[in-house]
Amino acid sequence: MTAFLALVKRNCRLFFKDKGVFLPSLITPLILLFLFVAFLRNVYSDSIRSAAGAYPISDALVSSIASGWLVSSLVAVCAVTIAFTANIIMVQDRSQGQRNDILVAPVRRSTVALAYFVSTYLVTLAFCLFALLAGFIYMAVAGWHLTVGDCLLTLLDLMLLSLFGTAFSSLICAFLHTQGAVAAVQATVSSAYGFVCGAYMPLSGLTAWLKNAVMFLPGTYGTGLLRLHLMGSAMEELPEAIADGMKEGFDCTLMFFAHPVPQWVSYLVVALFTLLLIGLYVGLCVLQGRKR
């Protein structure tokens, strides 16, 4: 345990000391939030008014729903993309030979692999909490309709999605050996993940076959949970018929082949996929150790 905690502390310290990695990771969520607000806020506001039809929805309520959409998109993307940035320490140690130096010490390979995983999770969670805090500040200015329960459930969603992102990135980065490869994979994931998980546009805007296809991806359910907990309370102020339609149209209620997905099923899907990825990562580490 002493060696494990020392390695976790060492990995976290190396990440935060590297200003070339730390500062861009810190600024990126703020830039994304600014871009969402500057370029997409009016688009989402118009979509909300269109979904409300002839019902007179107030500007404050529109602003609250739109801000919930923007913040949920931001957090859903950051939970995965930041995890790839945080895993750069593992790849650096492998490419520069420092991993071999660590393994010279009387410490198990499983301990080293677990330390990389935990440190990546802590770094990812810290930056996602920062992004969520910035989002809460924006929502407070735009129009606050969240309850204490919504905030707590959003934190639970964030912790689970950060764990999923850590497991996903750790499994992919276990095959990478250079920082350039990490940067290439991160760029690919950043450009594609937001679309396939429904963060950049509602699933209702996709074609039928693509909408059904992305429902097999765990990120879609994580984004849906964030949508529900950041937008649901504001939508509850609308008439039930309008609120139900808007929840489905804006992914608060996910539809799996025309069947609504309960909230507990979404949690179960994300949790099971996360456990599967963690199992694959552990198995890969064991296999690499035996080959060594």
In the chain, domain spans: 2-291
**Nearest by Cα to 199 from 22, 29, 21, 24:** 29
238-262 pLDDT tens trace: 888 888 888 888 888 888 888 888 9
Alpha-carbon span 20 to 176, nearest angstrom: 20
**Nearest by Cα to 235 from 76, 64, 85, 37:** 64
The one-letter code for the residue type at 11 is: N
- C-alpha distances in Å from residue 219, one per residue of 162, 205, 277: 11, 17, 13
119-158 pLDDT tens trace: 999 999 999 999 999 999 999 888 888 889 999 999 999 9
26 burial level (CB within 10 Å; 0-12, 13-18, 19+): middle
Q: What pLDDT, on the 0 to 100 scale, is given for residue 152?
A: 94
70-109 pLDDT tens trace: 899 889 988 888 888 888 888 887 777 776 667 667 777 7
The one-letter code for the residue type at 65 is: I
The most distant pair of C-alpha atoms in the chain lies apart, rounded to whole Å, by: 71
Give Cβ neighbours of residue 28 (< 8 Å, ≥ 6 apart): 78, 81, 82
112-121 pLDDT tens trace: 888 889 999 9
Q: Of the given ranges (38-47, 129-138, 271-280), which has the lowest mean pLDDT?
A: 38-47
